[in-house]
Amino acid sequence: MLEMIKKADVLIEALPYIQSFYDKTVVIKYGGAVLTDTVIRRNVLEDIVFMSYVGMRPVLVHGGGPYISKRIEELGKETRFVRGYRVTDEETMEIVEEELSKVNRDIVREIISLGGSAISLSGKEDHLVEVKKHADIEGEDVGFVGDVTKVNGDVIQRMITSDIIPVISPVGIGKDGFAYNVNADNVSAEIARSLGALKLVLLTNVRGILKDLTKPESVISHITLADIEDLIEKKVIAGGMIPKVKACTRALERGVKKTHIIDGRIPHGILLEIFTDKGVGTEIVKR
């Protein structure tokens, strides 16, 4: 009995959140590293289906890093990252497209099997995500790595107003007609701002922004943009965390209200962050 009352309490605690997030768009980026574990993946997709059933409008952008790196390794090639960006030659780009479209199809299938409706979208199709080649990083040409110049949000908007969850793969199209690999954090931020999303949620394989990488309990639960700049300068924020905080910065500067970096491995981490009084990861706000 007590257990049942507790469950009802949890639902009631969520009510004001459900009310204030009703009809609101939330862009969720699902990080490469948490994609590969089938249990975690199912948990995350369940949360997203739940969100759509309580009236929110989730948009999912996924990565595919570990799958891509595995294929590259099988070819006997070396995977290289510069400041969190994958150096992408032509052969790598082909693998990127193949692996992302596989992951994309699997996610769509899984959402449908959980009772949600979803549709597969590639940033390249319909010129959804337009890019320009990324400038050299630390003096190095990073190849087919794109920077988002424009998101044509109409297609995405049409899907979400029809209660369909768009599942977007982070490939962009250049003015030269080539496909470019775009960091999924970057894509999700641009999509969030083009849709006027309320929130951007980045799911990853760490607790959030950590003060000390070796200490999960050093997670910073609330931070402003000014403090982030400081942490980048002090090199506390490095590697794959850089595109994430940059993405959050971009989104916040263009009207997205709150951004979150959450550990995708925590069961129902997104629901905890959105629907309860206690968040689980790092919440980044403008000021």
- Can you give the binding site for ligand ADP, defined by CB under 6 A? 31-33, 63, 65, 84, 204-206, 209-210, 213, 236-241
Residue whose CB is less far from ligand ADP, 29 or 124 = 29
Q: Which two tokens stand for residue 168?
A: 């977007």
Integer Cα distance of 237 and 240 in angstroms = 9
CB of 242 to ligand ADP, least distance (A): 7
Q: What is the DSSP string of 20-42?
A: HHTT-EEEEEE-HHHHS-HHHHH
Q: From ligand ADP, Mg ion, none, which one binds at residue 213 (CB under 5 to 8 Å depending on kind)?
A: ligand ADP
166 binds Mg ion (CB under 5 A): no
From the list ligand ADP, Mg ion, none, pick the one residue 174 interacts with, judged by a Cβ distance below 5 to 8 Å according to partner type. none
Q: What is the DSSP string of 226-279?
A: HHHHHHHHTTSS-TTHHHHHHHHHHHHHTT--EEEEEETTSTTHHHHHHHSSS-
When the beta carbons of 63 and 159 are compared against ligand ADP, the nearer one is 63
Instruction: Supply the minimum distance, in Å, between the C-beta of residue 283 and ligand ADP.
Output: 14
Nearer to Mg ion, 65 or 269 (CB): 65
Q: Which is nearer to ligand ADP, 160 or 219 (CB)?
A: 219
Q: Which of residues 183-242 bind Mg ion (CB under 5 A)?
A: 240
Non-local (6+) Cβ contacts of 115 within 8 A are 49
Measured from the CB atom, the residue of 58 and 65 that comes closer to ligand ADP is 65
Q: Which does 35 bind (CB under 5 to 8 A by kind): ligand ADP, Mg ion, none?
A: none
**Quick check: helix, strand or coil at residue 128?**
coil
Cα–Cα distance for residue pair 112/21, rounded to 1 Å:
23
Residue nearest Mg ion by beta-carbon distance:
240
Phi, psi (deg, nearest 5) at residue 223: -150, 150
Smallest gap from residue 33 Cβ to ligand ADP (A): 4
Tokens found for residue 125: 């199709």
Expressed in angstroms, the distance from the first to the final Cα of the chain is: 44
Residue 11 interacts with which of Mg ion, ligand ADP, none, CB < 5 to 8 Å by class: none
